[in-house]
Amino acid sequence: MNEPLFSPKNRWFTVSVAAVVAIAVAAAAIGFVWLPRAHARAAVASLWDSICSAAGAPAPYRSPGLPEEKAVFPTTVIVASEFTGPIDNVAVGRGATLALQCSMCHGARGTATVGTNTPHLAGQPPSSTYKQLVDFKSGHRPSAIMQPLATNLSDQDMRDLAAFYSQQVRESLTGHAGIKVDVPRIASNGSPMRNVGACATCHSPGVARAATPILDGLPQAYLVDQLKAFKSGRRANDINQQMRNAAHGLTDAEIDVLAKYYASR
């Protein structure tokens, strides 16, 4: 007697369904559990984390270089353009006194000496300088040089330093004199197909985006190092991972071109 095709009593139907279910379970176990754990850069905390990771659910950023309470977020600072408050002569004066201990690397007025590969602070937006100092102090931006120096700075000290440097004019560097570099397409237009935004969108001097440094005139070696640090994840104090996402899609050749371009300005 022939049984209906879609019936539990039909042996072929039952075997086929059981085989499909078994394959689906095995595929889910491999795709959602084994592969995420096998290829994770760090140990996955739980089975649920493995499943969420495989499904593409965003997870909190964790840096192995930070204590657990600091590793949840890549930075603790969220600033607006007016975050540092009004800049007055008193704040600039206090900042000038504090900046004496910074002059060996960053110059007397925030313009580093040619060849030191130290970033220029003169003319940088106060919110940008303030954010980096806070990140150095908290450990969200590791640095063997800056962390010990920032440790003893109070919040007001960091605001005063940021105010002082924002009022300084970056000096022209003889090492960059006469260098003419065409604007790289990656700087002006980005690469939308690779999810790389135009650098000029955030880093042009006229944009004045909060907590975003001006790249013009920064040392070429410094820019290369920072872009590669963002690309590799060695530096991770960018809010919402915008720099890591952008730098991840850059080639080493594009990094060199961008660094040369901004250093020449």
Residue percentage of the chain with pLDDT more than 90: 43
Going from the first residue of the chain to its last (265 residues), give the mean pLDDT of each consecutive group of 10, the final group possibly shorter: 68 85 87 65 55 60 58 70 74 95 92 85 93 93 92 94 93 56 86 87 80 91 95 89 90 95 89
Q: Is residue 65 in a domain?
A: no
Residues 236 and 137 placed together within one structural domain of the fold: yes
Q: Residue 241, CB half-sphere, CA atoms under 13 Å: how many?
A: 16
CB atoms within 10 A of CB 248: 15
Amino acid at 104: M
Tens-digit pLDDT profile for residues 37-71: 665 544 445 556 666 666 665 555 555 556 666 65
* 91 φ/ψ angles, rounded to the nearest 5 degrees: -65, -40
CB–CB of 165/129 below 8 Å?
Answer: yes
Q: Is residue 79 in a domain?
A: no
Domain containing 229: what range? 89-263
Residues 156 and 104 placed together within one structural domain of the fold: yes
| Sequence-ordered list of residues with C-beta below 8 angstroms from that of 141, at least 6 positions apart, any chain | 75, 132, 135, 235, 237
Question: What per-residue confidence (pLDDT) applies to 173?
Answer: 57
Residues 137 and 35 placed together within one structural domain of the fold: no
Q: Is residue 227 in a domain?
A: yes
Q: How far apart are CA 5 and CA 13, in angstroms?
A: 7
pTM given for the model: 0.70
Residues 129 and 183 placed together within one structural domain of the fold: yes
Per-state percent for the chain, helix, strand, coil, to nearest 5: 50, 0, 45
Tens-digit pLDDT profile for residues 201-217: 888 877 777 888 999 99
Our count of domains for the chain comes to 2
Question: What per-residue confidence (pLDDT) applies to 99?
Answer: 96
Residues 204 and 251 placed together within one structural domain of the fold: yes
Residues 115 and 229 placed together within one structural domain of the fold: yes
